[in-house]
Chain A
């Protein structure tokens, strides 16, 4: 049976439909906006359209993310922590550390070899090192968000940025612009800041998998995390969909448990 997952995040709403073997049949990514219920519906409809399915042909749909309580069609809710763990484990079934960089939250989730979560950590009430940090910096630098990855990847130099706080980092960036530091070097420095915020949250164990929208659009973060941590970092095929895929997998698991 087809099951679904919808991940209603602070920035984006993601939907995924999986067949009984866990293959992705349809998906969608939309901006969450201010009406989470409408965004969830739209994302689901778009995923149904891509999969060429009707709602009646889909079994349970689980919701996760900040807006998880707003999806009226959801059979149940799970946290995005559970869903990112399940989604990452689906692609890399072994002991993992999942690093999810979201719009406003970072999470580090440890998963045992059998798939059970053993611990997790979220960032504090502070958006330093999250997607919101890069969005704010892109605005300050007057750069399109989608240009950041190429700039960081192509940079031959890197600006050193020491501040923890997003606002104070912006002040540092402005000072460096006045000093003539190249924009690409600044962007690479900003990426380094994101990587440092992640690494100071928790230790890394097992295979490291990065998920979430930020790394989906900025895969050079994975390269830099690997360099900084001195270990390989893997990405699932659709990093931004990991939570929604995990939700669909948990929906399928609940079906199987009910059947048993």
Chain B
């Protein structure tokens, strides 16, 4: 097997930016200024930044608990406290970690705990669990929990839906003004929406390096380099990072570096990452000379609709355009389009036990892709964080057999 490509140098900058992000949140929470807002991954972060909040994302913390495999120790604590093993394992890992008094931020940045929130702001476009998750912390800290309730199962995104979500975002303003002590300024919001737009455009360009033959970045790279798009969206730091990363990717492209040396096959990943097994799965796919070149998950931080000229409406549209909000027909078309765009030989669906909203195999989509469109599909069972639901051996056999099958069909 050829050697792995050299590591991406921009990662150092990302680590620095992430350290500054978490240390800044920790300092703000201890000093009481600026105010700290907790936000769901596709919540109204642009508005929060515009009002001067530092924004903390518990879902990102959940992913960190998964990637460090601390989740295996913290999920049972939340289960014992009444949070079912069948609900979101970001929630159970995170609440369990809080109850246990541990966080991966300690080892990474020397921080004792997650930053105390002054307000928690959700958007149910991801799922209902985020509300229940934030309510737990709201009760614990005595902090207000406010948010946006987005339509689900959306086909065409109608103007009436956009208007509804836009109004809900605007209704948050008075409460957020009061908590932050800052007056809302539409020009400041235009600025943060503009920064989010820049970030999203650049993140899309990063992902499109997966469309090259061979792919220059894989899904496993994307799960690392998406961090600034997730936690620094709406800030200039994210733009700085993707500027640096894209400049490096241009150079790497000239050298013809491949994410998976000797790439033979290309796959699309649908569903959540298995955070605690990224290394194992990445190594396995490399050994099979197969690159996972695109994913629904990493594409979910592309928000084409952001428009500084019309910030509230465009935020609403961006939050509604999201894959997870859409109906089955949209999702099927979306995956097919990306399979074609990225030249994929098949689709791997990850059926995450505790994340039904990100498990798109459950209403026979794999069968439809295969039978109606001739796209080979595989379903592997697992979970984003709860490794009790994941079998290394079964995943290995499934993925190896899938690549064998694609090879046979290609022959």
Please indicate which of the listed interface residues A79, A116, A118, A121 has the most CB atoms of chain B within 10 Å of its own CB.
A79
Q: How far is the CA of A121 from the CA of B377 in the complex (A)?
A: 10
User: Which of A66, A80, A117 has a CB less than 8 Å from the CB of B405?
Assistant: A117
The main secondary structure of chain B at its interface with chain A is helix
A interface, how many residues as a size bin? 10 to 19
User: Which of A79, A124, A125 has a CB less than 8 Å from the CB of B401?
Assistant: A79
Say whether, besides A79-B397, A79-B400, A125-B389, A119 and B379 are in contact (CB < 8 Å): no
Interface residues of B in 385-405 (CB under 8 A from A): 389-391, 393-394, 397-398, 400-401, 404-405
User: Which of A78, A105, A119 has a CB less than 8 Å from the CB of B376?
Assistant: A119
User: Which of B379, B394, B398, B408 has a CB less than 8 Å from the CB of A117?
Assistant: B408
B151 at the A interface (CB under 8 A): no
| Residue contact A122 to B397, C-beta cutoff 8 Å | yes
Q: Which residues of B sit under 8 angstroms from A105, Cβ to Cβ?
A: 394, 397
Interface residues of A in 85-114 (CB under 8 A from B): 105
| Residue contact B381 to A66, C-beta cutoff 8 Å | no
| Residue contact A116 to B404, C-beta cutoff 8 Å | no
| Residue contact B404 to A66, C-beta cutoff 8 Å | no
User: Which of B379, B391, B397, B411 has a CB less than 8 Å from the CB of A81?
Assistant: B397
Q: Which residues of B sit under 8 angstroms from A82, Cβ to Cβ?
A: 401, 404-405, 408
Say whether, besides A81-B404, A125-B381, A116 and B394 are in contact (CB < 8 Å): no
A164 at the B interface (CB under 8 A): no
| Residue contact B394 to A120, C-beta cutoff 8 Å | no
Q: Which residues of B sit under 8 angstroms from A66, Cβ to Cβ?
A: 393, 397
Q: Which residues of B sit under 8 angstroms from A119, Cβ to Cβ?
A: 370, 376-377, 405
B409 at the A interface (CB under 8 A): yes
Q: How far is the CA of A122 from the CA of B390 in the complex (A)?
A: 13
A95 to chain B, nearest CB (A): 15
Identity of the chain A residue whose Cβ is nearest the Cβ of B403 in the assembled complex: A79
| Residue contact A80 to B397, C-beta cutoff 8 Å | yes
Residue-wise interface mask of B (291-303) relative to A, using a CB-CB cutoff of 8 A (1 in contact, 0 not)? 0000000000000
Identity of the chain A residue whose Cβ is nearest the Cβ of B377 in the assembled complex: A119
Q: Which residues of B sit under 8 angstroms from A117, Cβ to Cβ?
A: 404-405, 408-409
B366 to chain A, nearest CB (A): 9
| Residue contact B379 to A121, C-beta cutoff 8 Å | yes
Identity of the chain A residue whose Cβ is nearest the Cβ of B382 in the assembled complex: A125
Q: Which residues of A sit under 8 angstroms from B393, Cβ to Cβ?
A: 66
Residues of A within 8 A of B (CB): 66, 78-82, 105, 116-122, 124-125
Listed from nearest, the 3 A-B pairs whose CB atoms lie closest are A81-B401, A79-B401, A125-B391
Residues of B within 8 A of A (CB): 370, 376-377, 379, 381, 389-391, 393-394, 397-398, 400-401, 404-405, 408-409, 411
Q: Give me 19 other A-B pairs in contact (C-beta within 8 A), A80-B397, A119-B405 excluded.
A: A66-B393, A79-B397, A81-B397, A81-B401, A82-B404, A82-B408, A105-B397, A116-B405, A116-B409, A116-B411, A117-B405, A117-B408, A118-B405, A119-B370, A119-B377, A122-B397, A125-B381, A125-B390, A125-B391
